[in-house]
Chain A
Amino acid sequence: MSLHDHAPVEPGYEVHTHHGDYIRIWAILVVLLVVSVAGPFFGHPLVTLVTAFGIAVVKAYLVAKNFMHINVAPRYVAYLVGTCLMFMLLFFAGAAPDVMKSDGTNWNKPAWVAAHEAAVHGGAGHGEAAHHE
């Protein structure tokens, strides 16, 4: 019996997805979640960085590949998504110097420096003054 014998889906609706073992993928994602939560308990910043963000990238890849089936979509879908990710990186590269540096050629942020010093010395200020420049 074919699909359309009992499933009145619209004509043209293509059924091509290869369905894998989704429960196994979900179990892997849960294990990775546990690892990412456990990471900070080691008390090492590098371990936390890897277990938090490294694992986030792996989890996102697993979801995109196995649940969203991006690997079987036409190639241009990956290019479309990749282009938008590149825009994100471009935005970051363009804006980060202004946000993350306290000075540069012919400019500086005295309030930003003052707020940092206040935070370091008194734990106060929370760097907020920098955002009201």
Chain B
Amino acid sequence: MSASPIATTRTAAGMPTGRLAVWWVIASEIVIFGGLLGSYIMFRLSHDAFAAQAAHTNTWIGAVNTLVLLTSSLFAVLGHKAADAGDGPKAARLLYLTAGGGLLFASIKFLYEWPHEIHEGFTISSGTFWSFYYTAAGIHAAHVIAGVVIMLIIAPRAKRNLDLHRVELIGLYWHFVDVVWIFLFPLLYIAK
């Protein structure tokens, strides 16, 4: 007798439990990022010096990273579509492309953007703006890396047409990470 995981079979809530769990994760993440962004907005509105410090962030790097995340989100949803069609190998390829986008995002941030800013003297202790900047972008980047790791775990099984529902679930999480960046980008890079 084979056993099926509860996450894919129980639908008392009107959807598979795995998908419901991801929505719960997203809801809790909204509170985490919401508190952080809300605090940032309070300080940004009441401290003119924030604008002067934000002027040192590189809008073009932020824009490129936004494009990278938006494109990786496209790959994620196309992977979901392929999984729904039962095409595991294609879903796996698209997951790898999505993970590649996440790695590119993290590489730009950790290998170019942050070293350049630290070299310029802007560290996490350089001021309140920079504390927010490194904390918010750092927590977001940690979510990006977590998503990449999960995708690299899921993709090999998806390639063998196994656990295809997970392609949708990681995609859901990935789109949320994208949405968080959509709000971080104007806050940290445009509102100067």
Residues of chain A having any CB pair with chain B under 8 Å: 3-4, 6-15, 17, 19, 22-23, 25-26, 29-30, 33, 36-37, 39-40, 48-49, 52-53, 55-56, 59-60, 63-64, 66-68, 73-74, 76-77, 80-81, 83-85, 87-88, 91-92, 95-96, 99-101, 116, 119-120, 123, 125-128, 130-131
Looking at chain A's contact residues, is the secondary structure mostly helix, strand, loop, or mixed? helix
Minimum Cβ distance to chain B for residue A95 (Å): 7
Q: Assess the A96–B42 pair: CB atoms within 8 A.
A: yes
Q: Assess the A126–B190 pair: CB atoms within 8 A.
A: no
Which of B10-18, B109-117, B148-156 interfaces with chain A?
B10-18
- Which residues does chain A contribute within 8 Å of B137, judged by CB atoms? none
Minimum Cβ distance to chain A for residue B70 (Å): 5
Q: Assess the B186–A36 pair: CB atoms within 8 A.
A: yes
Looking at chain B's contact residues, is the secondary structure mostly helix, strand, loop, or mixed? helix
Contact A84/B34 with A12-B16, A13-B8 known, Cβ cut-off 8 Å: yes
Interface residues contributed by chain B, number (CB under 8 Å):
75
Q: Assess the B23–A33 pair: CB atoms within 8 A.
A: no
- 23 A-B pairs in the complex with CB atoms less than 8 angstroms apart: A3-B86, A9-B86, A12-B4, A12-B10, A13-B164, A19-B80, A26-B74, A36-B190, A37-B59, A37-B63, A53-B191, A76-B14, A80-B24, A81-B26, A88-B31, A92-B38, A92-B41, A96-B42, A99-B43, A116-B47, A123-B52, A125-B49, A127-B49
Q: Assess the B23–A92 pair: CB atoms within 8 A.
A: no
Alpha-carbon gap, A30 to B70, bound state (A): 8
Q: Assess the B8–A127 pair: CB atoms within 8 A.
A: no
Contact A12/B11 with A3-B86, A39-B190 known, Cβ cut-off 8 Å: yes
Residues of chain B having any CB pair with chain A under 8 Å: 4-5, 8-11, 13-16, 19, 23-24, 26-28, 30-31, 34-35, 37-39, 41-43, 45-50, 52-53, 59, 63, 66-67, 70-71, 73-74, 76-78, 80-81, 83-88, 127-129, 161-165, 168, 171-172, 175-176, 178-179, 182-183, 185-186, 190-192
Q: A10 — nearest CB in chain B belongs to which residue?
A: B8
Contact A92/B127 with A15-B84, A33-B70 known, Cβ cut-off 8 Å: no
Which residue of the partner chain, among B37, B41, B175, contacts A67 with CB atoms under 8 Å? B175
Q: Assess the A126–B52 pair: CB atoms within 8 A.
A: yes
- Which residues does chain B contribute within 8 Å of A23, judged by CB atoms? 74
- Which residues does chain A contribute within 8 Å of B183, judged by CB atoms? 56, 60
- Which residues does chain A contribute within 8 Å of B31, judged by CB atoms? 84, 87-88
